[in-house]
Amino acid sequence: MSGLKVLVVGASIAGPATAYWLAKAGASVTVIERFNDLRTNGQAVDIRSVGVTVMRKMGIEAAVRAKPVTIEGLSFVGPNGKPYATINRTGNPEQQSLVSEYEILRGDLSLILFDLTKHNDRVKYVFGEQVASIQQHGHSEGPVTIEFQHGLPTAEFDLVVACDGATSRTRALGLGCSVRDYMHPTNCWAAYLSTKDDLLGKSNLGHAYSAPGGRWVAIGQNPGGGNLATFMKYSVGDENTAMAPFREALKQGADAVKEYISTTYQGAGWMCDDIIKGMMDAEDFYASEIVQIKLSSLYNGRFVLVGDAGYAGAAGAGTSLALVGAYVLAGEIKRHRGDLTAGLAAYNKRMRPMIDDLQKTPPLLSTILAPQTAWGIWVRNAIFGFVCWTRIIEVAHRLFSGVFSVGDKYGIPDYDED
């Protein structure tokens, strides 16, 4: 791979991770990010399963554990705030529960990965820049010509890697499609924010609450002070009708989305009004529609996708998939030295079983997480409370060890041995 010139688009998790592994294999990497600075806000993310293995190979486990989201578990509460079920951490990184032992703010993980690569002579970061056009020559042969929007001169690269998220503009350019092509709606949206005030009274437990209409809200301690909160809503019916109000608000900007959420959660109960009040002043507010990205191929000529740009929508495993995807891409290119097309094909083949598995929506997920009726919430609460009280949940953790525990059921090679 020595001498390979690569452009990576996106500097949040997947981008720096890809740059790290490609540079380690001998490539020269330019990472561009359309924002002027590294985005250091965002919700908590988990690292699980084979993602933990890759994290350890990168030597960042200690850095990740030094920046934990400070919750010891998650309590599910009713309208009066009384918990009916609580799930705690296992305390064992080798056997995680629904509450991960490696939970970290997205921005903190991005910063760790950025710091890991920013002084590497083979990696160059350019902020405030994005791709204007992608021109391939002979599809799989010859370099790719890239025109930029904000000042970088037109340049040629051996490979272009899109790591810019589910709504990737680079994917649209590289595949000759629209941004929404290959998006599969889930009839769900989510919003993330931090409140300045501590609404939990320094509790080390996160709290989650469901209201009729598929409305769900969770709140936990923010390591920087105050709380981190998430609003999430599942809708029923035709996706175009169900998601239309949120999509329209999203087009109008953050203030319109905040007003939409305020109206949607009006009268929802518990401490929703207090969280909404904190939301209105939140400077780190972020909202998006939750979608899955499903592609028949992760590459097109010398253009390839890593992370959410190529396979968003793996419930609870998106960060792990991004870390593994970066590792596998560089490893397969290295393994197929001199034949980039074969390396990209091997990456696609190696990732496919993992993507297909982790993108499967668990049965009745929306019914369990966000029932539409008060009766449905009561039944869910009763069942979940019984499951936690009888400790059946611990049996479930063992049954789903492929998701919760450290390990690799997908057979990812140890590329360091190649």
DSSP calls for 144-180: EEEEESSSPPPEEESEEEE-S-TT-HHHHHHHTS-TT
Residue type, position 323, single letter:
L
Instruction: Report, as an integer, the average pLDDT of 83-109.
Output: 66
Looking at 24-33, 216-225, 259-268, which range is the least confident one? 216-225
Distance CA 71, CA 239 (A): 34
pLDDT reading at 362 higher than 70: no
Torsions phi, psi of 74, nearest 5? -130, 120
346 in Cβ contact with 332 (< 8 Å): yes
Instruction: Report, as an integer, the average pLDDT of 267-283.
Output: 93
Torsions phi, psi of 14, nearest 5? -60, -40
pLDDT reading at 414 higher than 70: yes
pLDDT reading at 93 higher than 80: no
Residue type, position 365, single letter:
L
Give residue 47's pLDDT.
83
Torsions phi, psi of 182, nearest 5? 75, 0
Domains of the chain (ranges plus CATH)? 5-65+106-181+293-360 (3.50.50.60), 183-291 (no CATH)
Task: Check residue 362 and report its DSSP letter.
Answer: P
Give residue 400's pLDDT.
42
Q: Tokens standing for 156?
A: 């040629």
- Summarised one tens digit per residue, pLDDT across range 374-412 is 877 777 777 766 666 555 555 444 444 444 444 567 778
Name residues whose C-beta falls within 8 Å of residue 223's C-beta, 6 or more positions apart in sequence: 67, 68, 69, 70, 105
pLDDT reading at 161 higher than 60: yes
Residue type, position 3, single letter:
G
pLDDT reading at 253 higher than 50: yes
Name residues whose C-beta falls within 8 Å of residue 285's C-beta, 6 or more positions apart in sequence: 191, 192, 193, 254, 257, 258, 279
Give residue 403's pLDDT.
45
Say how many residues make up the chain.
418
Spatial CA neighbour of 195 closest among 81, 108, 279: 279
**CB burial readout 296-307, b (16+ within 10 A) else e:** eebbbbbbbbbb
Under the banding of pLDDT at 50, 70 and 90, the label for residue 99 is: low
pLDDT reading at 344 higher than 90: yes
Give residue 2's pLDDT.
62
Percent of the chain whose pLDDT exceeds 70: 84
Mean pLDDT of the chain: 85
- Summarised one tens digit per residue, pLDDT across range 37-61 is 988 766 778 887 788 889 999 999 9
Q: Give the neighbor-by-neighbor strand order of the sheet with 28-33.
A: 123-127, 28-33, 5-9, 159-162, 303-305, 299-300
Q: How far is CA 366 from CA 100, 214, 369, 371, 387, in A?
A: 21, 8, 5, 7, 18
314 in Cβ contact with 360 (< 8 Å): no
Distance CA 259, CA 45 (A): 26
